[in-house]
Amino acid sequence: MWKKILWLQEPVNVDDVFIDIGGNSLTATRCVNMIKAAFNVDVPLDLFFMDDGTVAVLAKLIDERATGEVRTTR
């Protein structure tokens, strides 16, 4: 999703931070809308601007909100 929205040529790594790879408020808003449409899950816009706003963190949040289960990291 990030690769498509940010028009990136190279792959996006799960540890990439959204703003570090070119994300901004407009592209973050597009991501929030795409996530809502695809998974029927609301994610906070500010997640994309945090130091740990990575693909991995976002995926975990989507999974938790979609399933209602909180997963711990090992």
Domain ranges of the chain: 2-6+15-67
pLDDT of residue 66: 87
Tokens of 41: 């899950």
What is the chain's pLDDT, residue by residue, as a tens digit (74 residues)? Answer: 888 889 999 999 999 999 999 999 999 999 999 999 999 999 999 999 998 889 999 999 999 998 886 666 55
Q: How far apart are CA 18 and CA 12, in angstroms?
A: 10
Which among 43, 45, 41, 4 has a CA at the least distance from the CA of 22? 4
Q: How far is CA 12 from CA 8, 21, 25, 54, 71, in A?
A: 8, 9, 19, 10, 23
pLDDT of residue 51: 87
